[in-house]
Amino acid sequence: MDSLDLQVLQQARDWHRAGRSVWLVTVIETWGSAPRPPGALLALRDDGLVVGSVSGGCVEDDLIDRVRHGERVGKPSLVSYGVTKEEAARFGLPCGGNLRLVQEPLLDTAWIDEVLQRTARHELVARRLDFDTGAVTVEPASRGEAFEFEGRQLRALYGPHWRLLIIGAGQLSRAVAPMALALDFEVICCDPREEYHLTWDVPGTTFSRSMPDDVVHELHLDPHCAVIAVTHDPKLDDMVLLEALKSPAFYVGALGSRGNTAKRKERLKLFDLGDAEIDRLHGPIGLHLGARTPAEIAVSIVAEIVAVRNGVTLSQKKAGSALPAGSGTACASGAA
């Protein structure tokens, strides 16, 4: 799920507690080029105020108009848009896209409190809506699961689907962490150096003073994990790379120039890593954006992680950069 949906739930709860009538609207199915994926969430207040989105805007306008003209849905119900090309064009759904929604009244907020409390503990949970009764229950979920709607029950996921392990607590890491949090990552920063851990101040993240290789073992890295080593200290960076490159983590990257990346790969060959494992290393880390400041470099790193997560070919890399197998051919414009 999109972590921004947690903000939608919190706002919906606050409106309900203030005595307003509130409806939740969830995307359950799309065809064509509908703008928002299944599971996307919107909260609609009785005066037409909304938070969140289910489309590019025109569908929201119609939902608002319905409420302002007195429509009051009393139980979960289906709403469809874009059944015809004309209607798709009217509601701003490109390429004849179609959209199916579930609209439900918010009758109780206890389940929202539970979702917010458990996701604050970095738990991944699911809320199950019974379409016949409107009852909502909250249950544990696992990475790899997806939004479900089979006609009578809706199951939506909340919490971090993804994890990012950052080695190093410097200025660059403090710029990367909040971006990753906004992109639905649980963020763990590891730095055993006392002069760095005392300054870590990013809310919503977990900090560890353990040695990097120990943290990798504790986390049991899986295909929903990314690892970046940005300390500039080979003793720490190489330590985590030796373990992370053997793991199923979908992304492993390290900060450094092309020359330093080549030297790092030679060092890694001295240990029990095969060529295929070493070739998984993203280095120099990040897409080529002409980045100079820590914030700009953070954007380039996070953009590359998202591209790999989404299966996009990494073409925006500096010529001569180390490209993991399957990433495509580097173009002349390169990576930072």
> What are 34-43's pLDDT values in tens digits?
567 889 999 9
Nearest to 243 by CA among 277, 205, 207: 277
What average pLDDT does the segment 11-33 reach? Answer: 91
Report the pLDDT value the prediction gives residue 98, as an integer from 0 to 100: 76
* Spatial CB neighbours of 179, under 8 Å, sequence gap ≥ 6: 298, 299, 302
Q: pLDDT grade, residue 91 (50/70/90)?
A: low
d(CA 149, CA 39): 9
Instruction: Flag the least confident range among 103-112, 246-255, 314-323.
Output: 314-323
Residue 253: its pLDDT value, please? 95
Band of the pLDDT at 332, cuts 50, 70, 90? very low
The number of C-alpha atoms within 13 Å of 37 and in the hemisphere containing its C-beta is: 8
> In this model, does residue 333 exceed pLDDT 50?
no
Does residue 300 register a pLDDT over 80?
yes
* pLDDT score, position 255: 93
pLDDT of res. 287: 92
Q: Residue 242: is its pLDDT beyond 70?
A: yes
Do the beta carbons of residue 30 and residue 38 sit within 8 Å? Answer: yes
According to the model, what pLDDT value does residue 4 have?
77
| Residue 3 pLDDT greater than 70, yes or no | no
Can you give the pLDDT at residue 74? 92
Residue 31, H or E segment: strand 22-31
Question: For 55-59, 75-79, 136-140, which range has the lowest pLDDT when averaged over its residues?
Answer: 55-59
Residue 336 is predicted with a pLDDT of 39
Q: Which of 120, 109, 189, 187 is nearest to 159 (CA)?
A: 120
Cα–Cα distance, 302 to 298 (Å, whole number) = 6
Q: Which amino acid is it at 63? A: L
Q: Give the pLDDT confidence score for residue 334 in this predicted structure.
A: 33
Go through the domains of the chain in sequence order and give each one's CATH number. 4-158 (no CATH), 162-309 (3.40.50.720)
pLDDT at residue 87, rounded to an integer: 61
Mean pLDDT of the chain: 87
pTM above 0.75, yes or no: no
Please name the residue ranges forming H helices in 52-162: 58-68, 85-90, 110-120
Q: What's the pLDDT tens digit per position in 118-157?
A: 988 878 899 999 999 999 999 999 888 889 999 889 999 9
C-alpha to C-alpha distances, 277 to 58, 121, 214, 245, 247, nearest whole angstrom: 48, 33, 19, 6, 9
The alpha helices in the chain, defined as continuous H runs, are 4-17, 58-68, 85-90, 110-120, 171-182, 194-197, 212-219, 234-244, 258-268, 275-278, 294-309
Question: Residue 147 and residue 156: Cα distance in Å, rounded?
Answer: 5
Whole-number Å distance between alpha carbons of 316 and 336: 10
